[in-house]
């Protein structure tokens, strides 16, 4: 890859990342979810509507420490987005679930990301999408190597 192409790709990645964050934050500030941060939305997304995960599982997925997630979950519980579900067999065993409000923000966030991916894929055939997927997997592998998770 020549220098000017590499420079342009880098510029596009940086701009797109910044734009995604900016648009998501603006959408939150102008929605019924004004009281939740983007990082908290990503925690809600990781907790998921479809399974109940432990704090450790969610922290690993978000690549943050369990202590950091515990603090975030405490805020999300107070704001009525997340609930702690204790096991009937062992009350010490806790899983995380979403409240009605949490499921609403989960769906709104998923819809935004679905629209974003559809916009990216517009006008592309399967082979072109496979190339983008491969490039993103390469980038993810680089970032994983460059910044190991705090849980390793």
pLDDT at 62: 94
pLDDT digits (tens, 9 = 90+) for 18-40: 999 999 999 989 999 999 999 99
Residue 136 pLDDT > 70, yes or no? yes
Instruction: List the domains of the chain with CATH numbers.
Output: 36-146 (1.10.10.10)
pTM of the model as a whole:
0.85
- Given a cut of 90, whether residue 151 has pLDDT beyond it is no
Contact (Cβ atoms closer than 8 angstroms) between residue 77 and residue 84: yes
pLDDT at 149 over 80: no
- Among 12, 13, 16, 34, which residue's Cα sits nearest to residue 25? 34
Structure confidence at residue 112 (pLDDT): 93
Q: What is the 3-state secondary structure (H, E, C) of the chain?
A: CCHHHHHHHHHHHHHHHHHHHHHHHHHHHCCCCCCCCHHHHHHHHHHCCCCCECHHHHHHHHCCCHHHHHHHHHHHHHCCCEEEEECCCCCCCEEEEECHHHHHHHHHHHHHHHHHHHHHHCCCCHHHHHHHHHHHHHHHHHHHHHCCCCCC
pLDDT tens-digit readout, 44-97: 999 999 889 999 999 999 999 999 999 999 999 999 999 999 877 777 788 999
Query: Average pLDDT, stretch 119-146?
Result: 94
pLDDT tier for residue 152 given thresholds of 50, 70 and 90: very low
């Amino acid at each position: 890859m020549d220098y000017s192409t590499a420079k342009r790709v880098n510029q596009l990645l940086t701009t797109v990342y910044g734009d995604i964050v900016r648009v998501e934050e603006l959408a939150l500030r102008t929605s019924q979810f004004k009281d939740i941060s983007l990082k908290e939305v990503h925690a809600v997304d990781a907790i998921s509507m479809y399974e109940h995960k432990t704090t450790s599982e969610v922290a690993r997925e978000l690549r943050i420490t369990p202590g950091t997630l515990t603090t975030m979950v405490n805020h999300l519980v107070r704001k009525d987005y997340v609930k702690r579900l204790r096991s009937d067999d062992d009350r010490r065993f806790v899983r995380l679930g979403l409240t009605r409000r949490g499921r609403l923000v989960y769906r709104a966030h998923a819809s935004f990301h679905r629209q974003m991916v559809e916009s990216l894929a517009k006008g592309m055939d399967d082979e072109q999408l496979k190339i983008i997927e491969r490039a993103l997997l390469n980038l993810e592998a680089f970032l994983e190597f460059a910044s190991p998770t705090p849980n390793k």
